[in-house]
């Protein structure tokens, strides 16, 4: 299994059998190292409807003829464009060929601007993936909230992607608490350094994680982690 950080909140997961991409935002992303046209995917997974998370969902889904899995209102938005979708909701889970997916709560908002008007796109979410013996949690965009503890008490998370950018999401201090509550063995900070408003020190965050016994990885866009690195 290979997990590649593509910048901002975009993550590509290659299980060896299936390729998943979460929150693809490459076009217009100043730190992206690959283009949307280069992405190979069997499924597109979305946490919420903001443009910096769904920006390349349509082009990747069309280019790969693959479905988009999202909260139902967001799925309906793409279904209206003629794309194949699976619309789920918070707390719901479903088994797919790649494993089990569950949408978890996130404390944020979810909309996209169309012709100058914000269109509501359902609740924001996190994504919990059970990939045949390996559990990945992508928190999406979220503030710190106490129900994150349920992730850690009910699931053995191997790797968590947690936003640290502040301003729009939780910052590094709150993200440390979230990492502790989620109890992931490994954590990758996301949603930072894409723009000046969310500039943070990923290496400093990782060093603070290490102090509380969590292994952190401040990946640069385009860098990846392999299963053997995460089994330590």
Domain residue limits at 206: 2-230
Instruction: For residue 70, give the CATH number of its domain.
Output: 3.60.15.10
At 232 the pLDDT is 62
Helices (H), the chain: 51-54, 57-64, 72-79, 148-154, 172-182, 202-211, 227-230
**Cα angle vertex 223, ends 35, 198, to 5°?**
80
Question: 38: which DSSP letter?
Answer: G
Q: For residue 95, which phi and psi values (nearest 5 degrees)? A: -90, 130
> Number of structural domains, the chain?
1
> For position 17, what pLDDT does the model report?
97
**What per-residue confidence (pLDDT) applies to 227?**
85
The neighbour count for residue 35, using CB atoms within 10 Å, is 11
Q: How far apart are CA 129 and CA 21, in angstroms?
A: 12
The answer to whether 138 and 47 have CB atoms below 8 angstroms apart is yes
* 187 vs 5: CA distance, rounded Å: 12
| Cβ neighbours for 150, distance < 8 A, ≥ 6 positions apart | none
How many CA atoms, within 13 angstroms, populate the side-chain half-sphere of residue 94?
Answer: 13
pTM over 0.85: yes
Separation CA 91–CA 71 (nearest Å):
11
pLDDT of 228: 84
CA 88 to CA 60: how far, in whole Å?
20
Task: Using 50 as the pLDDT threshold, list the residues of the chain that sit under it.
Answer: none
């Amino acid at each position: 299994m290979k997990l590649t950080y593509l910048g901002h909140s975009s993550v590509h997961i290659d299980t060896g059998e299936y390729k998943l991409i979460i929150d693809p935002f490459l076009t217009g992303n100043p730190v992206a190292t690959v283009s949307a046209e280069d992405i190979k995917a069997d499924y597109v997974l979305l946490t919420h409807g903001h443009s910096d998370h769904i920006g390349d969902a349509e082009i990747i889904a069309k280019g790969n003829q693959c479905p988009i899995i999202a909260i139902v209102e967001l799925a309906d938005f793409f279904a209206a464009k003629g794309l194949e979708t699976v619309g789920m909701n918070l707390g719901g889970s479903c088994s797919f060929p790649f494993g089990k997916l569950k949408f978890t709560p996130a404390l944020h908002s979810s909309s996209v601007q169309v012709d100058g008007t914000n269109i509501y796109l359902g609740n924001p979410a996190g994504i919990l993936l059970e990939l045949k013996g390996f559990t990945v949690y992508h928190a999406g965009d979220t503030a710190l909230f106490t129900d994150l503890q349920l992730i850690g008490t009910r699931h053995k998370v191997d790797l968590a992607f947690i936003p640290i950018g502040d301003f729009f999401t939780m910052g590094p201090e709150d993200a440390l608490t979230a990492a502790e509550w989620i109890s992931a063995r490994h954590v990758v900070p996301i949603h930072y350094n894409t723009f000046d408003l969310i500039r943070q020190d990923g290496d400093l965050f990782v060093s603070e994680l290490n102090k509380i016994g969590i292994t952190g990885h401040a990946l640069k866009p385009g860098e990846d982690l392999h299963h053997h690195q995460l089994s330590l």
